[in-house]
Amino acid sequence: MCRFVIYKGTSPVQLSHLLTRPCHSIINQAFDSRLRLDHRRPINGDGFGVGWYDSVQDEELGNQPCMFTSVTPAWNNANLIRLAEKIKSPLVFGHVRATTTGSLSLDNCHPFVCGKLMFMHNGGIADFHLIKRRLQADLSDDIFNVVQGNTDSECAFALLLSKLPDPKAKSFTTRTLQQAMLDTIATLNRYAEEAGIIEPSLMNFCITDGESVIATRYISSRHDEAASLWFSSGTTFSEYAEGGHYKMSKADKRENIIMIASEPLTFEKADWMEIRTNNMVVITPKMNLLQIPIVDKFYVSPSDPAALNRDTDFAAAKGLLSPRKALAPVQPRDNAPQLSI
């Protein structure tokens, strides 16, 4: 399946430091993924996309994100390599695609954009053909016409837009985006239940308005593991050895950089932490990082032994996770925030 990376920083980053230079950059993950074993699509060669926001606000240009997408393999696109060396941004979305649903076209390349909002998905909505008409019927005409491609991912984005009070607003609160994400997941689960769909859906979603970032690691199952998702934070992200060997440095307690990725961009184990299954990660405009459980019928508390033994076979068969041992026990804080849907 797909891979994605998110960067948010207090200072702009040169895109090449995320996309091309690291030895395990998202471009290299396109053909050398370490956390997926997908025999259907062994490489992510069905197009790519990168979206970013200008570091300087210009009223004439507007606040919409810039986009560059292509149906060529990311590692073989000279224009991407050239652009990555000349563009800096404080907020970047990058995505490489291995299609299993939807045709190979520019319209199906992530990220998807509406106004100042940008959205990506890694995973798949189970038996989407059984709920597609139902989903589309619940959209307003304006939002229905936002959809240009034929993927489950873009339809999920449209559904999320329908949960916002005004999807083309000039600004959104972090809480508004959080609630829209929760409502989207709950609605997709309801559609699946009404259609009698048994197979779990893998919903690693992420959305940003250029200020806040909301990402989920989610599966509609109490027993199966979700697609992989990691985060890293620190003060600097830089190359420490030739050959594209990068690391995240922490000079103090400040979070100048936060990255979320399907796979770590470095081989430094201390740099990355795995996001817990059925959790939401929130990056606020002030660079606060929150990891919040999504409490619904598929949520299993980390203190429950079942949470430590989720089966990796389903996600591994989809090419979204390598089989591995169960996670170590985690005792949640008594005051840890939770979200219910």
Q: Where are the beta strands (DSSP E) in the chain?
A: 3-14, 48-52, 66-70, 88-96, 112-114, 117-124, 202-208, 213-217, 230-234, 236-241, 245-249, 257-261, 273-274, 279-283, 289-295, 339-340
On whether the CB atoms of residues 104 and 97 are closer than 8 A, the answer is no
H/E stretch holding 187 reads helix 174-194
Catalytic annotation present for 2: yes
Euclidean distance between CA atoms 47 and 74, whole angstroms: 7
Euclidean distance between CA atoms 241 and 227, whole angstroms: 30
- Beta strands 236-241 and 117-124, pairing class: unpaired
Q: Is there a cis peptide before residue 42, judged by omega within 30 degrees of 0?
A: no
**Per-residue CA distances from 81 to 3, 75, 84, 111, 262 (Å):** 18, 9, 5, 18, 21
In sequence order, the 6+-apart residues with CB closer than 8 A to the CB of 12 are: 55, 88, 89, 90
Q: Look up residue 20 and give its two tokens.
A: 């091309």
- Point out the residues that are catalytic: 2
